[in-house]
Amino acid sequence: MSMWQQTEIQLSPRSRGFHLITDEILTQLPELAKLEIGILHLFIKHTSASITINENADPTVRSDLESHFNHFVPENQSYYQHDYEGPDDMPAHIKSSILGASLSVPISHGKLNLGVWQGIYLCEHRNRGGSRQIVATLNGC
Average pLDDT of span 104-121: 98
Termini Cα distance of the chain: 6
Q: Inform me whether the pLDDT recorded for 82 exceeds 90.
A: yes
State the Cα–Cα distance between residues 98 and 50, nearest whole angstrom. 9
> In the chain, what is the greatest distance between 2 CA atoms, to the nearest angstrom?
56
The tens digit of pLDDT for each residue in 5-45 reads 999 999 999 999 999 999 999 999 999 999 999 999 999 99
pTM: 0.96
In the chain, the domains with their CATH numbers are 3-140 (2.60.120.460)
| Residues 131 and 13: beta-carbon distance below 8 Å | yes
State the Cα–Cα distance between residues 66 and 60, nearest whole angstrom. 10
